[in-house]
Amino acid sequence: MRKLADKIFIAIIAVLVLALAFSGFTIYKKSKDISKVEKEMNQAEQTITQNEEKISGLQQELDGAKSENEKIKSELDTAKNEKDKLQKENDSLKKQIETLKAKKNNSAQNTLENSAQNGQTSTQNPVNPSSGKKVCYLTFDDGPTSRTPEILKILKKYNVKATFFVINTSNINYIKQAYDEGHAIGLHSYSHNYAGIYKNVSAYMKDLQSISDKVYSIIGVRSDIMRFPGGSSNLVSKKYCRGIMTQLTKEVSEKGYAYFDWNVDSDDAGSSHSSYTRIVNNVLKGSDGKNSICVLMHDAESKTSTVQALPKIIEGLAARGFRFELLTSKVTGFHHGVNN
The domain spanning residue 265 has which CATH number?
3.20.20.370
Is 332 part of a structural domain of the chain?
no
pLDDT at 204: 98
Cβ 235 vs Cβ 339: under 8 Å: yes
What is the tens place of the pLDDT at every residue in 80-132? 777 777 777 666 666 666 556 555 544 444 444 444 344 333 333 445 555 56
First-last CA distance in the chain: 118
- For the chain, how many structural domains are there in total? 2
DSSP letter for each residue of 3-56 = HHHHHHHHHHHHHHHHHHHHHHHHHHHHHHHHHHHHHHHHHHHHHHHHHHHHHH
Mean pLDDT (whole number) for 187-198: 96
Residue pLDDT, tens place only, 307-333 = 999 999 999 999 999 999 999 999 999
Q: Which residue in the list 142, 261, 298, 299 is annotated as catalytic?
A: 298
Q: Does the pTM exceed 0.75? A: no
Identify the active-site residue in 141, 261, 268, 299.
Answer: 141
103 and 53 both lie in a single domain? yes
Each residue's pLDDT tens digit, 156-185: 999 999 999 999 999 999 999 999 999 999
The pLDDT tens digits of the residues spanning 6-27 come to 777 777 877 777 777 777 777 7
In 3D space, the residue among 208, 294, 193 whose CA is nearest the CA of residue 251 turns out to be 208
Q: In terms of domains, do 258 and 169 share one? A: yes
* 287 lies in some domain: yes
Is 77 designated active site?
A: no
State which residues form the domain around 164: 134-324
Judge whether residue 297 has pLDDT over 80: yes
Q: How confident is the model at residue 70 (pLDDT cuts 50, 70, 90)?
A: confident
Domain boundary among 59, 83, 118: 118
What CA–CA distance (Å, rounded) separates 264 from 241? Answer: 28
Range among 19-23, 29-33, 134-138 with highest mean pLDDT value:
134-138
Does residue 141 carry a catalytic annotation? yes
- 201 and 81 within one domain: no
Of all residues in the chain, what percent carry a pLDDT higher than 70?
85
